[in-house]
Amino acid sequence: MGRLRYEIGPKPLCQNKKNPQVVETESELTAQSDPDSAPSPDSDLTSADQLLSRPTTEQGTEPSLRGPNTMATAVPTGGAVPMGEEQAAFAVKKDEEESAGFKSLLRETLETVILAVLIFLVIRSLVQNYRIEGQSMEPNFQHGQYLLVNKLAYRLGEYSRGDVIVFHYPNNPSQDYIKRVIGLPGDTVEFRDGELIVNGLNVDEPYDQVPIARDIQAQTVAPGFLYVLGDNRPASSDTRTWGQLSQEFVIGKAWFAIWPVGDAGVVEHPAIELGPALEQAP
């Protein structure tokens, strides 16, 4: 009599139907014992669904349940900074750099302005520009001509006869005049027959001038004062009109003609040479 032979695998540890693992084991045994019996598609689906949906716990870690409205939260690990904080830190750093750049630019601009003002003040204390108005110094200096005046000339040097100077008009210091130095302190200046006489000596004036045709009484220049005249003497208001010039009113010495361009150049100051003594009238 033939015998049915079953190849039975390992016996399940538990046959409690409430344990789903036993059901799986029994299904496997049944499939191997009875080749004609096949598991139902529904049972396989159910079993697979249970396997996929069954949470796995490791070392007592409780599974976390999430509802439909629960959002995942990224937890930084290893000291990483969340993207939002990185962007905020970058924005703050950028603002600080822009603020520092603006402050640096403002400081440099302020330093440049202060330096420019200081340079201007220094230059202004040394040199000043003037525009000639009137004809009292023609033909050597023209109306509308621009000059630079050296304001240090007489702080470092001495006056000489023939110097062209700019000064505050003694009767109205708000006005500035330009004249030529004829007499120094201690000199005696006079005009005879339209001729300039200094210290009793005839003066050879090496510059162009328009003479006068009358006599002017001799006068001695006081200490600290100057005797000044315009080159165009008939049209000049000078020492002959308002007296000797105190050196306190002197601004400086004409140094450079800057306009018009054709007349530009260093201003010359030809010295007045004293000639032979004039013969005394009998």
Same structural domain, 99 and 218: no
Task: Give the pLDDT confidence score for residue 49 in this predicted structure.
Answer: 41
- DSSP string over 28-59: HHHHHH-TT----HHHHHHHHHHHHHS----T
**179 in catalytic set:** yes
pTM of the model: 0.59
Domains of the chain: total = 2
Domain edge (last residue) among 128, 158, 188: 128
> Omega into 76 within 30° of 0, i.e. cis?
no
For every one of its 282 residues, what pLDDT tens digit does the chain have, with 9 covering 90 and above? 444 444 445 554 444 444 444 444 344 434 444 444 444 544 444 443 433 344 444 444 444 444 444 444 444 555 555 556 667 666 666 667 777 777 888 888 998 999 999 888 888 788 899 999 999 999 999 999 999 999 999 999 999 999 999 999 999 999 999 999 999 999 999 998 888 999 999 888 888 888 887 888 999 999 999 999 999 999 999 999 999 999 999 999 999 999 998 888 999 898 888 766 555 444
Q: Is residue 78 part of a domain?
A: no
**174 in catalytic set:** no
Same structural domain, 99 and 233: no
Spot the catalytic one: 151, 179, 236, 253: 179
* Cα separation of the two ends of the chain: 193
Say if CB 147 and CB 132 are below 8 A apart: yes
Task: Give the pLDDT confidence score for residue 70 in this predicted structure.
Answer: 46
Q: How far is 221 from 219, CA to CA, in rounded Å?
A: 7
Q: Is residue 42 part of a domain?
A: no
Tokens, residue 173: 């210091």
Spot the catalytic one: 17, 43, 103, 136: 136
Query: By residue range, what is the domain housing residue 266?
Result: 132-277
Q: Is residue 66 part of a domain?
A: no
Same structural domain, 271 and 182: yes
Say if CB 230 and CB 180 are below 8 A apart: yes
> Omega into 63 within 30° of 0, i.e. cis?
no
Same structural domain, 143 and 155: yes
Same structural domain, 116 and 224: no
